[in-house]
Amino acid sequence: MTIDKQPSCADDSEPQLLPVDAAMARIANLVRPLATTETVSIADCLGRVLAQAVQSPIAVPSHTNSAMDGYAVRADDRDQAASTGLRVVGSAFAGRPWSGELQAGEAVRIFTGAVVPPGADTVIIQEHTELDVDTVRFASDFTPGQNIRHAGEDVAAGDRVFVGGEQMSPAHMCMLASLGINEVSVTRKPRVAFFSTGDELRAVSDPSSSPLNAGEVYDSNRYALLGALARMAVDTIDMGLVPDDPVAIRDTLERAGETADVVITSGGVSVGEADYVSKTLHDIGNVAFWKIAMRPGRPLACGKVGDAVFFGLPGNPVAVLVTFYEFVQPAVRRLMGCRDDGQPFRFRVPCTSALRKSSGRTEYQRGILYHDDDGQLAVKTTGKQGAGRLSSLCLANCIIVIPPNADAITPGSLVEVQPFTGLV
Ligand code: AMP
Ligand code: MG
């Protein structure tokens, strides 16, 4: 008797696998940026996305000022400065300008950030001068105009400093403050609801969960999602643990779809008897179930529950984080109105390990970026790559992305890496 085998995630090449890029394009199609905006203090704008462009109400710097401690002088006085010297007629401090106008033969003692007095066009740093009572001398081989920061040289009044859709970083917060802007209009925070599914799961916060009974595992996926979402400017709704029970799953999904903009589940999206997430979604939502040509993370359900965008992530914790970073994070950024496509930053480095690679799928292997003995950046593997091996993620500081058509990687060849820092 022969037994017909169904395609499975254990197969290297499987028909009808959706390439990663195609999955990303479909997800982008599903997500419409949120239309509601709100005004927030710049102190609270980290990670938020600007709803409109920002124009500068002022010039930065607002006054022409000194870049160094020294003397403000007229470049035309160079010969006198090098021979008899210039008369020091006053001092200009940051925030306390000198009120006069510099005349020929004069210098003003000046400190970093102080307004350059009218008449002066150059600052000579104090280390290059000699002071004798109230006469300062210095060599004539300086560059006229040196050590002066001109009003508006960073930003001119009326300049468009940021376009709508820019995500606020510490540098953006700093710039806004320097322009005297105290509040900005941003897209409202997306609400992201998530829960774990599985009869075997126990909550680590539940004292009765210890010790585990045979076959039980602690629900770790919710903490992966909590951590990943905490790095984004979103509101999270932790809906806990739901057993493999179609009624409970349906009820929780419906509630999540009513309150959230994004609903994320983990587990139960495969083809097993107890995999109710995709089945339930077919009944209540508008859901595509995809087998994605990737490893880890092959089964992924995606679609809509009510108005919310839905992601049914696989159960294995490594797959949860990989699919979160590849698909969910870009989708949430799109929802927030980010103008870039949210794709993580990647670059190529030599790989010093041999890596196995099965054909036909994009692989996301866990790697360690390091400096070799010559100080050159290289990457090595964290070791065995099973989707259940969480330790591989904790050791890693990057993902090594191997395209579907690539062969096994031999030591020394270039691979593409996606560092973990910079993911948010
Ligand atoms: P599933 O996709 O539901 O078949 O789950 C695949 C594997 O992931 C199984 O070994 C599950 O026990 C495990 N798993 C599912 N959900 C979680 C979770 N929340 N935390 C830890 N492991 C999980
Ligand atoms: Mg399960």
In-domain check, residue 247? yes
In-domain check, residue 398? yes
Q: State the CATH number of the domain containing residue 89.
A: 2.170.190.11
Considering the domain architecture, whether residues 207 and 161 belong to the same structural domain is answered as no
Closest atom of ligand 1 to 222 CA is 19
Question: Ligand 1 within 6 A of 85 CB?
Answer: no
In-domain check, residue 313? yes
Q: Which two tokens stand for residue 41?
A: 């203090």
Q: Pick the ligand that lies closest to the CA of residue 225.
A: 1
pLDDT tens, residue by residue, 291-335: 899 999 888 989 999 999 999 999 999 999 999 999 999 999 999
**In this predicted structure, what is the pLDDT of residue 423?**
44
Alpha carbon of 319 to ligand 1 centroid (Å): 10
Domain range for 411 is: 347-419
Q: State the CATH number of the domain containing residue 264.
A: 3.40.980.10
Q: State the CATH number of the domain containing residue 378.
A: 2.40.340.10
Query: Do 409 and 365 touch, CB atoms closer than 8 A?
Result: no
Task: Point out the domain boundary residue: 275, 306, 336.
Answer: 336
Counting the structural domains of the chain, the total is 4
Q: State the CATH number of the domain containing residue 161.
A: 3.90.105.10
Question: Ligand 1 within 6 A of 244 CB?
Answer: no
Rg value, the chain, Cα: 30
Task: Point out the domain boundary residue: 310, 336, 362.
Answer: 336
Question: Ligand 1 within 6 A of 219 CB?
Answer: yes
Considering the domain architecture, whether residues 199 and 257 belong to the same structural domain is answered as yes
Considering the domain architecture, whether residues 54 and 76 belong to the same structural domain is answered as no
Q: Pick the ligand that lies closest to the CA of residue 296.
A: 1
Q: Pick the ligand that lies closest to the CA of residue 314.
A: 1
Considering the domain architecture, whether residues 218 and 81 belong to the same structural domain is answered as no
In-domain check, residue 381? yes
Considering the domain architecture, whether residues 205 and 299 belong to the same structural domain is answered as yes
Considering the domain architecture, whether residues 29 and 76 belong to the same structural domain is answered as no
Considering the domain architecture, whether residues 25 and 52 belong to the same structural domain is answered as no
**In this predicted structure, what is the pLDDT of residue 424?**
37
Segments in the chain below pLDDT 50:
9, 423-424
Name the pTM for this structure.
0.90
Alpha carbon of 243 to ligand 2 centroid (Å): 9
Considering the domain architecture, whether residues 279 and 410 belong to the same structural domain is answered as no
In-domain check, residue 306? yes
Alpha carbon of 244 to ligand 2 centroid (Å): 7
Considering the domain architecture, whether residues 304 and 178 belong to the same structural domain is answered as no
Considering the domain architecture, whether residues 182 and 193 belong to the same structural domain is answered as no
pLDDT tens, residue by residue, 192-237: 999 999 999 999 999 999 999 999 999 999 999 999 999 999 999 9
Task: Point out the domain boundary residue: 336, 357, 380.
Answer: 336
